[in-house]
Amino acid sequence: MLDRFGRNIEYLRISVTDRCNLRCIYCMPEEGISPISHEQVLRYEEIVKLVKIATELGINKIRITGGEPLVRKELVSFIALLREIDEIEDISLTTNGIFLERYLDNLISAGLNRINISLDSLNPKIYKKITRRDNLDDVIRGLKKAIKSSIRPIKINVVLMKNLNDNLKDFAKLSIKEPVHVRFIEYMPVMGIEKIRGLTEEEMLDELNKYGELEKTKSPFGHGPAIYYKYKNAKGTIGLICSNSHNFCYKCNRLRLTSDGRLKPCLFGKEEVDVRSLLRTNASNNALKEAFKNAIYLKPRGRSKNKRIHHMYQIGG
């Protein structure tokens, strides 16, 4: 499924909910949000139908996101349904890790291949300041269980913010000691919070080089956006994702499906295609397939200049 610029679109990110059990300062207001109604949220059987149609056009990788996907009931059963689709080669999950210890065994049994844990600090005080919650112990237990399990790779996504979580020593040591892949992400002002400043790639490397000599390494996972490094004799790697200073739109291979049934060709833009209405008016499979084709056609060459309608917690990462 090639777009107008020759990119092969093979990856669908699916947000199953806009609800989350954290209130991260860069993503949600402290008082929370007014969630969309249950009637607006796509049912699992509707998503499965869309995924089957998407595979006819070349989609073979799925990532489940939120909000926090593990707050939605029966997610394990949903992943099992996706695993039954022969064309799907890879199913991954992005989670904040709070419920990971509880569900990990069942997720693996259902067919989950990979996991990303969003975790911005290993320091309890800083974690609480960022998330406005006190759940770090829950996340660490889930991470430890994942390390002991068969699931690989385990990635940790860290959004870096100046003068808040910019001491990277704990994560650097973790990447040396354990087979985890820590990805430091350049802050994107998704809520228009001007007082938060992220770290540039140069600043990240300056900090990381304090804890040992880094060497550049090939991506262990194919064509993702991160630039990878590792410390000598480390079991894991360090990845840098700097979407502001190093735009990687030229190799973007994904579409996003929001929890309320919109196909988004670009994370940053308002362009979207309503598939929920098609599903609920019993549109034909051909009509749904044309909706996917339309979303691909709308995918811009670079970052969209049209300000998006959905918030990040509705779209998923």
Tokens of 58: 């070349």
pLDDT of residue 31: 79
Among 23, 313, 27, residue whose Cα is nearest residue 193: 27
Q: How confident is the model at residue 307 (pLDDT cuts 50, 70, 90)?
A: low
| Two structure tokens written together for 31 | 């008082």
Phi, psi of 242, rounded to the nearest 5 degrees: -120, 75
Higher pLDDT among residues 226 and 306, named by residue: 226
**Does some domain include residue 158?**
yes
Contacts of 69 (CB under 8 A, 6+ apart): 15, 16, 17, 75, 93, 94, 95
Give every strand in the sheet of 214-217, ordered side by side: 214-217, 227-231, 237-241, 180-186, 154-160, 114-118, 90-95, 61-65, 11-15, 254-257, 262-264, 273-274
300 cis-preceded (ω within 30 degrees of 0): no
Residues in the chain: 317
Strands 154-160 and 180-186: parallel
Q: Which domain covers residue 85, as residue numbers?
A: 11-315
pLDDT at position 250 over 90: no
Instruction: Give the model's confidence band at 225: pLDDT under 50 very low, under 70 low, under 90 confident, else very high.
Output: confident
Report if residue 248 sits inside a domain.
yes
E-only strand ranges, the chain: 11-15, 61-65, 90-95, 114-118, 154-160, 180-186, 214-217, 227-231, 237-241, 254-257, 262-264, 273-274
**CA 297 to CA 284: how far, in whole Å?**
20
Is residue 5 in some structural domain? no
Among 159, 157, 152, residue whose Cα is nearest residue 179: 152
Indicate the pLDDT class of residue 190, thresholds 50, 70 and 90: low
Name the pLDDT band for 23 (thresholds 50, 70, 90). very high
In a domain, 1, yes or no: no
Supply the pTM of this predicted model: 0.94
Structure token digits, residue 276: 């929920």
| In a domain? residue 21 | yes
Could you tell me if 263 and 295 are in contact, meaning their C-beta atoms sit under 8 angstroms apart?
Answer: yes
> Who has greater pLDDT, 185 or 251?
185
Closest CA to 33 of 41, 22, 43, 48: 22
Least confident stretch, 43-52, 216-225, 251-260, 283-292: 216-225
- Specify the pLDDT at position 304: 65
Helices and strands of the chain, counted as H and E runs:
10, 12
pLDDT range class, residue 220, cuts 50, 70, 90: confident
Q: Is the pLDDT of residue 309 over 70?
A: no
With respect to residue 108, please indicate whether it lies within any of the assigned structural domains: yes
Q: Domain with 241 in it: what CATH number?
A: 3.20.20.70
Inside any domain, residue 6: no
Sign of CA dihedral 287, 293, 297, 298: positive
Look at residue 217 and tell me if it is in a domain. yes
Q: What pLDDT is stored for residue 317 in this prediction?
A: 58
pLDDT at 191: 54
Residues 194 and 202: their CA atoms lie apart, in Å, by: 21
pLDDT digits (tens, 9 = 90+) for 75-115: 999 999 999 999 999 999 999 999 999 999 999 999 999 99
pLDDT number for residue 277: 98
- Say if CB 35 and CB 19 are below 8 A apart: yes
User: Which tens digit of pLDDT belongs to each residue from 30-63?
Assistant: 777 788 999 999 999 999 999 999 999 999 999 9
Q: How many domains is the chain partitioned into structurally?
A: 1
pLDDT averaged over every residue in the chain: 92
